[in-house]
Amino acid sequence: MSGQETEGLPVRQAGVRLIVGLGNPGREYAHSRHNVGFWCLNRLARRHGIAFSSRGRLAAVGEGRLAGQPVILAKPRTFVNLSGRAVSHLLKRYRLSPQQLLVVFDDLDLPLGRVRLRADGSHGGHRGMRSIIEAIGSQDFPRIRIGIGRPSAPGGTGEPTWEPEVVVDYVLGPMTADERRILDEAAATAGEAILCLLSEGVEAAMSRFNR
């Protein structure tokens, strides 16, 4: 799918066309839990021969076809908390509606490796999703959450914590080999869910992958 074909894509066209994976730019964040949305898109791009362009100021973008559908894959160059800037720009650039957007991101409140789809909804406390919803003025778009689990409180009690400093260190910090394997598998599952959503619709994908 060439730039000429997508730049004038009519808003009335139904179905997801823009798939955004959330993560932080830079090598120091590449293997962090917060970047699992990037991992998912990287897998899809490699598998389906889609190349990301490095020319975009706000996002790395790759155009191609998934499940027979023309799509735009995008990885924002903004940090996660400012993802709305990139997403808003891309929707305007390709003349797409919010309903044609799909976002893939990490979720602290899902167990490690769990994948969940929603057709719409609030940001659920995720700052990247809050940024997107505020920037585009809508929460009516599908999303795929990949569970990274919540860190435990200091002291060895095993209780989950919402302490900001602990959470930041956790989402941006290193993980064990087992955790990485589980998240790699979850990113692959999320990719399969995207293909199902594109070919069969969001309800069918939710039924299959939200078990």
Q: Name the residue ranges covered by the structural domains of the chain.
A: 3-209
Q: Pick the catalytic residue: 31, 34, 89, 126?
A: 34
The position carrying tokens 């919803």 is 133
Structure token digits, residue 208: 């299959």
- Which pLDDT tens digits describe the chain residue by residue (211 residues)? 434 344 444 333 458 999 999 999 999 999 999 999 999 999 999 999 999 987 778 999 999 999 999 999 999 999 999 999 999 999 999 999 999 999 999 999 999 999 999 999 999 999 999 999 999 999 999 999 999 999 988 877 778 989 999 999 999 998 999 999 999 999 999 999 999 999 999 999 999 999 8
Separation of alpha carbons 66 and 48, rounded Å: 7
Residue 14: the pLDDT is 59
> Does residue 48 have an active-site annotation?
no
User: What are the strands, taking DSSP E only, across the chain?
Assistant: 18-21, 59-66, 69-76, 101-107, 115-118, 143-147
* pLDDT, tens digit, 9 for 90 and up, residues 99-110: 999 999 999 999
pLDDT number for residue 114: 97
Which CATH number is associated with domain 3-209? 3.40.50.1470
Alpha helices in 26-99 (DSSP H): 36-47, 83-93
Q: What is the pTM of this model?
A: 0.90
Which strands sit side by side in the sheet containing 115-118, from one edge to the other?
Answer: 59-66, 69-76, 18-21, 101-107, 143-147, 115-118
